[in-house]
């Protein structure tokens, strides 16, 4: 069967630095796959290649069998791959609801003309968009904050809003770059639940996460990068016992 996403020997260098080297990865629909590795291992660079922010300088990326290597981010998004960022990227001066609406409109490439002409068609479309956006906010637990300025949301809730925005572009594969970074233990547990419920909606998730408890609990499959090189790949039980992985983490706790 054609996997949802496949990378073949994906590589990216910056000057002389090989940030990602020959990464082969297959993600099936409805799976949670984590990418782990020490700081600077190339995890975010790998995401940036997948989502079209960086053009890889070797290898290829196939989304549902279609070669998307080198496509710009908006095209990759329209083809079904959406992401969040390690550093939150919201429109701070917009409300929570507006942030999701903008993501929806960007995705659908709608013309603003019907809006300017106040056409009945647009009104129906606008109502549908609002209802859809509120549905995504409800799903991530932010419905009550719809009219709040996004910049005044607590940090953990801003992370949830980022996920609502990504979901609003209707991806089949969602890339999450450290969604639980900076969260307290309860927020982290809630984030794990949210990620599981996204998978229950039928999406596949590619996750970068430092919290090994989270990674080991939630992942079907784990890819370990070290200095851009894949050093292990497989189920959590396989990866946590791998001597190279233990060495790369220099004794960090990965057994829980
Ligand atoms: N735009 C860039 N230009 C130059 N070097 C970069 C750039 N982005 C990342 N790097 C380098 O690539 C390596 C991998 O970085 P990154 O992918 O951010 O790692 P991780 O997300 O695993 O911490 C690091 O050495 C980093 O300094
Ligand atoms: Mg990173």
Structural domains counted in the chain? 1
**Which residue would you say has higher pLDDT here, 164 or 87?**
164
* 91 CA from centroid of ligand 2 (Å): 21
Least confident of 121-130, 169-178, 192-201, 245-254: 245-254
Question: Please, which pLDDT band fits residue 87 given cuts at 50, 70 and 90?
Answer: confident
Question: At residue 86, does pLDDT exceed 60?
Answer: yes
Domain assignment present for 253? no
Q: For ligand 1, atom 24, name the residue with the nearest CA.
A: 40
CATH number of the domain at 154, please: 3.40.50.300
Q: For ligand 1, atom 4, name the residue with the nearest CA.
A: 14
Domain assignment present for 256? no
Contact 173, 63 (CB under 8 A): yes
pLDDT at 256: 46
pLDDT in tens, 156-205: 999 999 999 999 999 999 999 999 998 999 999 999 999 999 999 999 99
Domain assignment present for 254? no
Measuring CA to CA, how many Å separate 201 from each of 103, 167, 189, 198, 237? 19, 11, 19, 5, 26
Question: At residue 30, does pLDDT exceed 90?
Answer: yes
Domain assignment present for 128? yes
Q: Tokens representing 191?
A: 């984030």
Question: At residue 254, does pLDDT exceed 80?
Answer: no
Average pLDDT of the residues of the chain:
91
SS (H, E, C) the chain: CCCCEEEEEEEEEECCEEEEEEEEEEECCCCEEEEECCCCCCHHHHHHHHCCCCCCCEEEEEECCEECCCCCHHHHHHCCEEECCCCCCCCCCCEHHHHHHHHHHHHHCCCCHHHHCCCHHHHHHHHHHHHHHHHHHHHCCCHHHCCCEHHHCCHHHHHHHHHHHHHCCCCCEEEEECCCCCCCHHHHHHHHHHHHHHHHCCCEEEEECCCHHHHHHHCCEEEEEECCEEEEEECHHHHHCCHHHHHHCCCCCCCC
Residue 140, C-beta contacts closer than 8 angstroms, at least 6 positions apart: 160, 161, 163, 164, 167, 194
Q: For ligand 1, atom 18, name the residue with the nearest CA.
A: 44
Domain assignment present for 255? no
Question: At residue 216, does pLDDT exceed 90?
Answer: yes
Question: Please, which pLDDT band fits residue 94 given cuts at 50, 70 and 90?
Answer: very high
Domain assignment present for 133? yes
Q: Tokens representing 97?
A: 């609801």
Domain assignment present for 211? yes
Question: At residue 255, does pLDDT exceed 60?
Answer: no
Q: Tokens representing 44?
A: 């975010």
In this structure, which ligand is nearest to the CA of 46?
Answer: 1
Question: Please, which pLDDT band fits residue 88 given cuts at 50, 70 and 90?
Answer: confident
pLDDT at 126: 79
Q: For ligand 1, atom 20, name the residue with the nearest CA.
A: 40
Domain assignment present for 213? yes
For a mutational test of ligand 1's pocket, the pick from 15, 19, 37, 231, i.e. the residue with the most ligand atoms closer than 8 A to its C-beta, is 19
Question: At residue 89, does pLDDT exceed 90?
Answer: no
Question: At residue 250, does pLDDT exceed 60?
Answer: no
For a mutational test of ligand 1's pocket, the pick from 13, 15, 40, i.e. the residue with the most ligand atoms closer than 8 A to its C-beta, is 40
Which structural domain, as residue segments, surrounds residue 115? 5-248
């Amino acid at each position: 069967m054609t996997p949802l996403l496949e990378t073949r020997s994906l590589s990216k260098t910056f000057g002389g630095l090989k940030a990602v080297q020959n990464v082969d990865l297959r993600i099936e629909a409805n799976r949670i796959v984590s990418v782990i590795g020490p700081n600077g291992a190339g995890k975010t660079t790998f995401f940036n290649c997948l989502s079209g922010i960086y053009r890889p300088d070797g290898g290829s990326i196939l989304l549902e069998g279609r070669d998307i290597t080198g496509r710009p981010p908006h095209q990759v998004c329209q083809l079904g791959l959406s992401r969040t960022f390690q550093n939150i990227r919201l429109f701070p001066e917009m409300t929570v609801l507006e942030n999701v609406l903008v993501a929806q409109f960007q995705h659908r490439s709608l013309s603003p003309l019907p809006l300017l002409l106040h056409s009945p068609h647009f009104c129906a479309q606008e109502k549908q968009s609002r209802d859809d956006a509120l549905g995504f906010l409800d799903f991530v637990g932010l419905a009550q904050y719809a009219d709040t300025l996004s910049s005044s949301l607590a940090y953990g809730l801003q992370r949830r809003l980022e996920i609502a925005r990504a979901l609003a572009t209707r991806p089949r594969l969602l890339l999450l770059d450290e969604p639980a970074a900076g969260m307290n233990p309860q927020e982290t547990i809630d984030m794990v639940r949210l990620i599981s419920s996204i998978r229950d909606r039928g999406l596949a998730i590619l996750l970068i996460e430092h919290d090994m408890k989270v990674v080991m609990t939630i992942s079907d499959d784990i890819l370990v990068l070290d200095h851009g090189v894949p050093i292990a790949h497989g189920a959590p039980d396989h990866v946590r016992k791998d001597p190279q992985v233990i060495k790369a983490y220099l004794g960090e706790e990965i057994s829980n």
